[in-house]
A and B are shown apart, each in its own frame.
Chain A
Amino acid sequence: MTQSVIELTVTDQDRRIAWLATAAVALSLVDAAIPSPLPGVKPGLANIVTLVVLARYGWATAVWVSGLRVLAGSLLLGYFLAPGFFLSLTGTLFSLATLGLARYLPARWFGPVSLSILAAFAHIGGQLVLARLWLIPHDGLFLLTPVFALAALVFGTINGLIAAKLLSDTPPPPEPDHA
């Protein structure tokens, strides 16, 4: 067999990201199957994975997992590069940025529930901004803001609770001894 010039070494970190992203993609498929009364109002179950990853493996891994989830999820559901993809991407970028800042909140006082709520608000905020600038350039769109904000609060709290439960039920893995 010809030896390839390019050697791709798969690290444990790569494997972990792949596994976690797979879990997140599976949850976004479940998400898509749940009927919603209004486009944009959905539980966002995949964010549970993001929250757990953020707490366990740090922000950079969370960015990888979320990014892969948006990409793979949109490919599987067939909306890659469609408006929904950009909405999803914008929401994810906004919530990741928020999580990047919110993770410095004192852990003694603020748990996954806080992070989840903040991320949910950032998510819908980013999506509304993009929708207003690009998809529906009319202020009438903002009439939906209270509904979206309410959904963000409710689902953000629930997802945060689930993430907190998962984190408290499973002990943190032993510190990896490899680089």
Chain B
Amino acid sequence: MSWLALIKPGDWLLILLGTTLVGASFPLFWQGGLADRAIVRQNGQVFAEVDLRSRRQLEVPGPLGPTLIAIEPGRARVLSDPGPRQYCVRQGWLMRPGEIAICAPNRVSVQITGRTKVYDSISY
């Protein structure tokens, strides 16, 4: 008896339904889609909006000195920062929409955005 003969019509229906649900769950749960832009802010003002398809480096001047930001296809990171604790540098690559690295002492931040806006927190 072949394996396929063991699958009844309803089983096929359920496999199809399951596949559809699983397929739909990827964009649903990984909402925001792929990272496609990085917003670099200095002192609260947008310093640059960079497309994450290019590969480049950005130097953002701040009160402590220059913060170096690297842009690569699909991701971005803070390469170096004059701040004392280096939190934003150690955060590494940011690749999901909504992710943000903040170099507070130098007042520089890098945020990743996707097609849809995701909230980092919601309160009621």
Chain A positions near chain B (C-beta within 8 angstroms)? 105-106, 108-114, 117-118, 121, 142-143, 145-146, 149-150, 153, 156-157, 160-161, 164-165, 168-169
Chain A binder among B3-11, B35-43, B56-64, B78-86: B3-11
Taking A110-B8, A153-B22 as given, write out 9 further A-B residue pairs in contact, using a Cβ cutoff of 8 Å, ordered by the A residue number. A106-B10, A108-B8, A109-B8, A111-B7, A114-B11, A142-B29, A143-B29, A150-B22, A161-B3
Task: Identify which of B6, B15, B21, B29 contacts A165 (C-beta below 8 A).
Answer: B6
Q: Is the interface of B mostly helix, strand, loop or mixed?
A: helix
Q: A164–B9 Cα gap in the complex (Å)?
A: 14
Chain B 60-88 residues near chain A, CB threshold 8 A = none
CB proximity to A under 8 Å, residues B1-34:
1, 3, 6-11, 14-15, 18-19, 21-22, 25-26, 28-30
**Chain A residues whose CB sits within 8 angstroms of the CB of B21 once the complex forms:** 149
B22 touches A149 (CB 8 A): yes
Chain B residues near A118: list those with CB within 8 A: 14
Inter-chain contact B6/A161, CB cutoff 8 Å:
yes
In contact, B30 and A160 (Cβ under 8 angstroms): no
Tell whether, in the assembled complex, residue A113 and residue B29 are in contact, meaning their CB atoms are under 8 Å apart: no
In the assembled complex, the Cα of A117 lies from the Cα of B28 at a distance in Å of 21
A153 to B18 alpha-carbon distance, docked (Å): 7
A-B contact pairs, 16 of them (CB 8 A): A109-B8, A110-B10, A111-B7, A111-B10, A111-B11, A112-B6, A113-B6, A114-B8, A114-B10, A117-B11, A117-B14, A146-B28, A146-B29, A149-B22, A153-B19, A156-B18
Name the contact of B1 in the complex, choosing from A113, A146, A153, A168 (C-beta under 8 A).
Answer: A168
Shortest distance from the beta carbon of A52 to any chain B beta carbon, whole Å: 13
